[in-house]
Amino acid sequence: MRQLLKIFKALSDKNRLRIMKMLEVKAMCVCEITAVLNLAPSTVSKHLSLLHDAELIEDRKEGKWVNYSLPKEARTPEASEMLGFLRRSLGDALEVLADKEKTIAADRMELCGLSIKPSD
């Protein structure tokens, strides 16, 4: 029951549902998610922490970034069921459709303020 409570808590917030739908499009870092949702990085990090704790998302460090994504295979039957339900849900919600476009356009190199500087 504890795992199910974590899942329901994690999904009881509109922004966390939006994050889940964004991660269907591509793996994202905090700065990309922050830009799409127009939230503070600390708020996005808290949302990601709750989703991760419920085993609904994964994180993977790649260079300077931590990429968040949906798991290829859920660790628990409860998470598996909920991930399947989410994939089938909210696809026609206007906010989700707008987020999808912004997610596709989000460029971490631009958003995170990292650019390759020529060596001196």
Q: Has residue 120 been placed in a domain?
A: no
The predicted-structure confidence for 54-72, as pLDDT tens digits, reads as follows 999 999 998 888 999 999 9
Start-to-end CA distance of the chain, whole Å, equals 59
pTM of the model: 0.89
Query: Which residues make beta-bridge pairs with 60?
Result: 67
Specify if 116 maps to a domain.
Answer: no
User: How far apart are the C-alpha atoms of 68 and 27, rounded to whole Å?
Assistant: 5
Reduced to 3 states, what is the DSSP secondary structure of residue 65?
Answer: strand
Within a domain: residue 70? yes
Which pLDDT score is estimated for 52? 96
Quick one: CA dihedral 53, 26, 72, 13, positive or negative? positive
- Give pLDDT tens digits for 73-112: 988 899 999 999 999 999 899 999 999 999 999 988 888 7
pLDDT > 90 fraction of the chain, expressed in percent and rounded: 77
- What range defines the domain where residue 47 resides? 2-106
Q: Output the domain CATH number for residue 79.
A: 1.10.10.10
Q: What's the number of domains the chain is made of?
A: 1
Whether 32 is covered by a domain: the verdict is yes
Please name which of 19, 29, 34, 36 lies closest in space to residue 104, comparing C-alpha atoms.
Answer: 36
Q: DSSP state, 28?
A: B
With a cut of 70, say whether residue 120 has pLDDT above it: no
